[in-house]
Chain A
Amino acid sequence: MTLIYPRESNQANPPRLFPGYKSTSKRSPQKPLILMRQTLSELTGPVYGHETVRPNDHDLTIQHKGEPLGERIIVHGHVRDEDGRGVPNTLLEIWQANACGRYIHVVDQHPAPLDPNFTGTGRAQTDADGYYRFVTIRPGAYPWGNHLNAWRPAHIHFSVFGHAFISRLVTQMYFPGDPLFEFDPIFNSVLDEKARMRMVSNFDLENTKPDWALCYRFDIILRGRDATPMETK
Chain B
Amino acid sequence: MAGLTPSQTVGPYFAYGLTPGGKYDWNDAFSNDLVTPDASGDRIRIAGQVFDGDGAVIPDAMLEIWQADGQGRYANPRDTRALPNAAFKGFGRCGTSAKGEFAFDTIKPGVVPDPDGKPQAPHILLAVFARGMLLQLYTRIYFEDEAEKNAADPVLALVPAERRATLIARRSGGGADYRFDVHLQGDNETVFFDV
Contacts and interface: CB of A to CB of B under 8 A. Distances in A.
B185 A95 contact: no
Contacts of A106: 23
A45 to B, nearest CB: 6
Nearest to B124: A41
Contacts of B185: 26-30
A113 interface: no
A31 to B, nearest CB: 5
A171 interface: yes
B194 A33 contact: yes
Contacts of A120: 16-17
Contacts of B176: none
Interface stretch (B39-47, B70-78, B99-107): B70-78
A121 interface: yes
A170 B10 contact: yes
Interface string A22-41: 11111111110111111111
Nearest to B113: A40
Given A26-B185, A105-B13, A222 B5 contact: yes
B135 interface: yes
Interface in B14-56: 14-18, 20, 23-27, 29, 52-54, 56
Given A33-B192, A159-B18, A165-B127, A107 B5 contact: no
Interface stretch (A68-76, A192-200, A207-215): A192-200
A201 B101 CA distance: 36
A34 B114 contact: no
Given A28-B133, A40-B74, A169 B14 contact: no
Contact of A39 (B3, B9, B25, B120): B120
A106 B56 CA distance: 21
Interface string A175-188: 00000000000110
B158 A34 contact: yes
Given A29-B192, A41-B66, A222-B5, A95 B14 contact: yes
Q: Assign chain B's interface to a size class.
A: 35 or more
Interface string B80-107: 0000000001110000000000000000
Contact of A105 (B16, B25, B120): B16
A104 interface: yes
A172 interface: yes
A13 B195 CA distance: 13
Interface centre among A18, A29, A164 (most CB of B within 10 A): A29
B6 A12 contact: yes
A38 B29 contact: no
B7 A170 contact: yes
Contacts of B2: 80, 82-84, 221
Nearest to B183: A29
Given A29-B185, A166-B195, A13 B24 contact: no
Interface of B: 1-18, 20, 23-27, 29, 52-54, 56, 58, 60, 64, 66-68, 74-79, 89-91, 112-115, 120, 123, 125, 127, 129-138, 140, 155, 158-159, 163, 184-186, 189-195
Given A28-B132, A107-B13, A222-B4, 20 more contacts: A10-B4, A21-B134, A23-B132, A27-B133, A30-B186, A31-B189, A34-B158, A35-B158, A36-B195, A39-B113, A40-B113, A41-B112, A41-B123, A43-B78, A44-B76, A108-B13, A121-B17, A121-B24, A159-B14, A186-B9
